[in-house]
Amino acid sequence: MNKSKNIGVIVMLILLPLSVLADPIKDSSMDGNRAGWYLNIHDNKLLTCPETCKARVNGLPESVTSPEVSKKAFLCKRSIKIGKAQKKRAWLYGNQFDDKKACYLFDQSGRRAYSDKYYCLCINQP
């Protein structure tokens, strides 16, 4: 009986991270929330996160500022294919800085990477 309980706990601990992989904020929709992820392409042009949020929802990009550096970092994400067959998709999260039209992130190997096509986290203006 103890063995089956242990196996059940082990299976639950293995499956638990799978349930927290979903992003609670939807893509291309505010959907009743005060935030949404929006693709940085509008009218066939690549945009920064501030430009994306203004063009898509007349909103503001979610950002952080470091007191040591004058740069603003806007939250962005990019979809990648994972697994041996490359059939599963996952999100990598990163930052888009100032007027650079790129999302900087770390790839699944831990190397620095960037993408010029990405989603920006936009929030409703207060």
Over the stretch 41-59, which tens digit does the pLDDT of each residue have? 999 999 999 999 999 999 9
Give the mean model confidence (pLDDT) for residues 31-47: 89
Computed over every residue of the chain, the mean pLDDT equals 79
Residue 17's pLDDT band (cuts 50, 70, 90): very low
Which tokens in the block code for residue 104? 């900087």
**What residues are paired with 113 via a beta bridge?**
105
Domain range summary for the chain, segments of one domain joined by +: 24-123
Query: Looking at the predicted structure, is the pLDDT value of residue 11 above 50?
Result: no
What amino acid occupies position 80? I
- Check residue 110 and give left, alpha or beta (phi > 0: left; psi -120 to 50: alpha): left
- CA gap 36, 1 in Å, rounded: 47
For the chain, the distance separating the N- and C-terminal CA atoms, rounded to the nearest angstrom, is 56
pLDDT at 65: 81
Rounded to two decimals, the pTM is 0.73
